[in-house]
Amino acid sequence: MKGFVRDRLFPADGTERAEMKSLIHGYRTWCAEKGFTPKDLKGFLDEIERLCVKLGIKIEVGDDQRVYCCGVKIEVSSTANVR
């Protein structure tokens, strides 16, 4: 998990935010690329919450009822399928 955050999650201006659903998808893609078995959903959410608290990243629910990590962006791998 820490490798995923280090490889794919980057600071951004205060208005940018990463949707949790995108983080999960990115994490699973990263695991597949690295040959790792991803954590289950609960394990992922628990770990990302711990890391966000440690790094000072705010997690909030948007007006659209989706969950976001604020002030970060996800860098997509060049090998990932983007639709």
Number of domains in the chain: 1
Residue 66 lies in a domain: yes
Picking from 12, 28, 2, 6, the residue whose alpha carbon sits closest to that of residue 70 is 12
pLDDT of residue 35: 94
Spans of the chain below 50 pLDDT: 78-83
Residue 79 lies in a domain: no
pTM equals 0.75
Residue 81 lies in a domain: no
pLDDT of residue 10: 82
What CATH number does the domain containing 39 carry?
1.10.10
Domain that includes residue 60, residue range: 2-74
Q: Tell me how far apart the alpha carbons of residues 42 and 6 are, in angstroms, rounded to a whole number.
A: 20
Residue 43 lies in a domain: yes
Residue 80 lies in a domain: no
